[in-house]
Amino acid sequence: MKKFSSVIVPRFAIWPTLPPSIHLKEGSAWLPFPLNQESCRIFSRARQAIWSACKALELGSGDTVLVPAYHHGSEVEALVLAGLTVKYYEINDALEPDEVTLLPLLDETVKALYLIHYLGFPQDGAFWRKWCDDRNLLLIEDAAQAFLTTKDDTPVGAFGHMAVFCLYKTYGIPDGGAVVSIKPPQPPQLRAESGYWRMVKRHLNWIATRRGEVGFFHSLVKPAISWWKRTNDRPHAEFDMGNPDTPPSVMSSKLLPKLLCQDTARKRRRNYEFLLEHLSDMVPRQFAYLPEGACPFAFPLEVQDAQQFLSRLRRRGILGLLFWINPHPSLPVEDFPRSRFLRERVLALPVHQELTERDMLRIVRAVRECSASLPTQFAAVV
């Protein structure tokens, strides 16, 4: 029989938490890209920003966009709802667009290339901008996971004709998706929600990283919430766009200036490097080196039975995420083996800026305990 105290453990999730002291802080004078751009517009979600920017760029019916098979799904849904036809390409071993699969897709209907900066790792925006310019295509940069990432001192998103960012993935705000575009959409017109409840959840998550009792309570109610969601959600509800005219919540607009900090990327990098030092044998090789300028969203781990690994981690207070397990329903999954492999095998661990070295050690210990009893890496990525 497990000792009660062994389940009263702090909980660490990949989402940035919100320290209560933030309310007392002054707003930062520092405005990183894209927030410092006149053409920047902020919506509640990045998917709404994508839809609105496509409309502003007059991309729609009769136009095709080339999209990686390794994607979240909500960005694809936004493109489809904007009227675009989506053609998929495979990514190469370095997670870059694979030119061999891109070139045969080109025809006169293709108007844009969609480039995703995975987990905050920068793609070569300059190269792909030139590639697009040479073919008279628009470059759409998806930096949903890469706010604050730079490459050669240039922020990701600066090369695209359009670029999108999820602000709430980097900071513990309730929502916020930013877009910059050569033709910016008009700002969202609906009335902003308060965002109070989601703010409270972020505060609770912060407490749960320090107080095992709160983490324990979370572990009791979470399965019930997940069950309720599973029984009430429609399939693919996670890709729903909602109303594209939705602005960020009041709390997001109020808290973001207080949270912006020039040290965020450095702290995330420090936490990533720590995990790399201790868990390098379990990292997919594409993520085994942290490039300069990257602001990592999470730490990837390659395991054979990701679901089982995650549930073992959960029992130790680490809430990893098998992100992107479900692709957009329009993807012919079997045609893209590399993307499939990544979806099924790569899970994400927390590295956000609120975590301390002690927290990171806890994460390492939990992973090692789980991997001692389960197989981890087997096949190389195909």
Ligand X SMILES: Cc1ncc(COP(=O)(O)O)c(C=O)c1O
CB 119 within 8 A of CB 148: no
Query: Could you give the 3-state DSSP secondary structure of residue 185?
Result: coil
Which one of 41, 72, 268, 328 is in contact with ligand X (CB under 6 A)?
72
Residue number with CB closer to ligand X (97 or 215)? 97
> What is the amino acid identity at position 252?
S
CB 116 within 8 A of CB 68: yes
d(CA 265, CA 288): 18
Does residue 137 belong to the site contacting ligand X (CB under 6 A)?
A: no
Does residue 166 belong to the site contacting ligand X (CB under 6 A)?
A: yes
Q: Which residue has the tokens 């295509």?
A: 137
Which one of 45, 151, 218, 312 is in contact with ligand X (CB under 6 A)?
45
Which one of 14, 66, 69, 116 is in contact with ligand X (CB under 6 A)?
116
CA dist list (Å): 14 to 74, 295, 348? 19, 14, 7
Residue number with CB closer to ligand X (11 or 328)? 328
Nearest residue to 150 (alpha-carbon basis) of 124, 131, 170:
124
Site for ligand X in 325-344 (CB under 6 A): none
CA dist list (Å): 326 to 65, 141, 333? 20, 21, 10
Which one of 144, 162, 208, 298 is in contact with ligand X (CB under 6 A)?
144
- Sign, CA torsion 143/145/151/153: positive
Question: What does the block give as tokens for 200?
Answer: 């409270």
Which one of 63, 77, 141, 142 is in contact with ligand X (CB under 6 A)?
142
Residue number with CB closer to ligand X (15 or 217)? 15
Which one of 17, 37, 74, 249 is in contact with ligand X (CB under 6 A)?
74
Query: Could you give the 3-state DSSP secondary structure of residue 268?
Result: helix
**Which window, 139-147, 256-264, 339-347, 366-374, contacts ligand X (CB under 6 A)?**
139-147
Does residue 75 belong to the site contacting ligand X (CB under 6 A)?
A: yes
**Which window, 137-145, 147-155, 267-275, 347-355, contacts ligand X (CB under 6 A)?**
137-145
The minimum distance between CB 266 and ligand X, in angstroms, equals 23
Does residue 178 belong to the site contacting ligand X (CB under 6 A)?
A: no
d(CA 265, CA 79): 30
The minimum distance between CB 332 and ligand X, in angstroms, equals 19
The minimum distance between CB 147 and ligand X, in angstroms, equals 11
d(CA 57, CA 241): 19
The helix or strand, by DSSP H or E, that contains position 128, with its residue range, turns out to be helix 125-134
The minimum distance between CB 11 and ligand X, in angstroms, equals 21
Three-class HEC string of 285-299: HHHCCCCCCCCCCCE
The minimum distance between CB 260 and ligand X, in angstroms, equals 18
**Which window, 86-94, 141-149, 195-203, 284-292, contacts ligand X (CB under 6 A)?**
141-149
Q: Which chain residues interact with ligand X by CB under 6 A?
A: 45-47, 72, 74-75, 116, 142, 144-145, 166, 177
